[in-house]
């Protein structure tokens, strides 16, 4: 005899509903587990203060030593003798130095010969290219005018090569370029008025130092008179 089941109590009819419900419950539990956060508990900080008793300094007891009282002041004489002042004092008369409106002031005539007029010598500037006698660099004295000019330029370049030092900071920062330096050789043969223009202040300072170390020269001459001569030179800084 075949047993027949009631279709209303057959659990296979609700299998999909049970599966979906269980899956939703599992996903909800999994989501809450992922979202759950825990925080570490801070350990209580225990502070301990060490109290040290201050050292007490015993102050010794001092005693005042008895001293003798000061002697009494000398007594005044019983008889006071009055001496007459017979010395005569000369009175000093102070006269006024103010002048009145009626006072006549005489005009003081000064002679032209009594006036000392100092002549201020004007410093003449003559360009290096047109000066009659260029400044003479030490070692170029026994040469002609044209040879002295070429010798001057060569000795300046040789001086730059001998005294050239690449700034260490500029080398580390890879700073390169050309610095144009302009200076004057005054009427006494000294180097003055050094100015420079370049890509960085480190290179300009080194170029000015080199030019400032130039030796004293024989000044340039124009029409028999020592004059001030400007000169400029480029100095290249390149890291090899």
Q: For 164-196, how does the pLDDT look when each residue is reduced to its tens digit (9 = 90+)?
A: 999 999 999 999 999 999 999 999 999 999 999
The per-residue pLDDT for 184 is: 94
Tell me whether residue 180 is in a domain.
yes
Tell me whether residue 189 is in a domain.
yes
Tell me whether residue 221 is in a domain.
yes
Is residue 29 helix, strand or coil? helix
Tell me whether residue 206 is in a domain.
yes
pTM flag (> 0.85): no
Range of the domain at 196: 145-237
Burial grade of 203 (CB within 10 A; 0-12, 13-18, 19 or more): buried
Q: Could you tell me the pLDDT band of residue 62, with boundaries at 50, 70 and 90?
A: low
Tell me whether residue 173 is in a domain.
yes
DSSP string computed for 86-142: ----PPPP-------TT--PPPPP--GGG---PPPPPPPB--TTT-SBPPBPTT-TT
Tell me whether residue 83 is in a domain.
no
* Maximum separation of any 2 CA atoms in the chain, in Å: 179
CATH of the domain at 176: 3.30.1150
Tell me whether residue 210 is in a domain.
yes
Q: Measured between alpha carbons, how far is 191 from 182 in angstroms, rounded to an integer?
A: 10
The per-residue pLDDT for 197 is: 93
Three-state secondary structure string covering 55-84? CCCCCCCCCCCCCCCCCCCCCCCCCCCCCC
As for how many domains the chain has, the answer is 1
Q: For 65-112, how does the pLDDT look when each residue is reduced to its tens digit (9 = 90+)?
A: 677 777 777 766 666 666 666 666 666 666 666 666 666 666 656 665
Tell me whether residue 155 is in a domain.
yes
């Amino acid at each position: 005899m075949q047993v027949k089941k009631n279709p209303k109590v057959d659990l296979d009819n609700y299998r999909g509903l049970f599966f979906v419900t269980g899956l939703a419950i599992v996903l909800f539990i999994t989501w809450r587990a992922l979202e759950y956060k825990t925080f570490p508990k801070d350990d209580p900080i225990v502070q301990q203060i060490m109290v040290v008793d201050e050292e007490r300094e015993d102050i010794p007891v001092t005693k005042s030593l008895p001293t003798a009282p000061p002697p009494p002041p000398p007594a005044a004489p019983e008889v006071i003798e009055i001496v007459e002042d017979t010395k005569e004092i000369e009175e000093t008369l102070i006269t006024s130095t103010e002048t009145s409106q009626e006072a006549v002031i005489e005009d003081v005539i000064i002679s032209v010969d009594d006036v000392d007029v100092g002549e201020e010598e004007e410093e003449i500037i003559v360009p290096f290219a047109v000066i009659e006698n260029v400044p003479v660099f030490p070692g170029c004295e026994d040469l002609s005018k044209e040879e002295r000019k070429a010798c001057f330029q060569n000795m300046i370049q040789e001086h730059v090569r001998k005294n050239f030092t690449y700034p260490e900071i500029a080398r580390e920062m890879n700073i390169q370029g050309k610095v144009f330096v302009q200076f004057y050789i005054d009427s006494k043969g000294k180097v003055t008025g050094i100015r420079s223009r370049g890509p960085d202040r480190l290179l300009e300072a080194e170029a000015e130092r080199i030019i400032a170390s130039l030796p004293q020269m024989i000044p340039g001459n124009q029409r028999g008179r020592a004059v001030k001569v400007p000169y400029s030179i480029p100095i290249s800084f390149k890291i090899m």
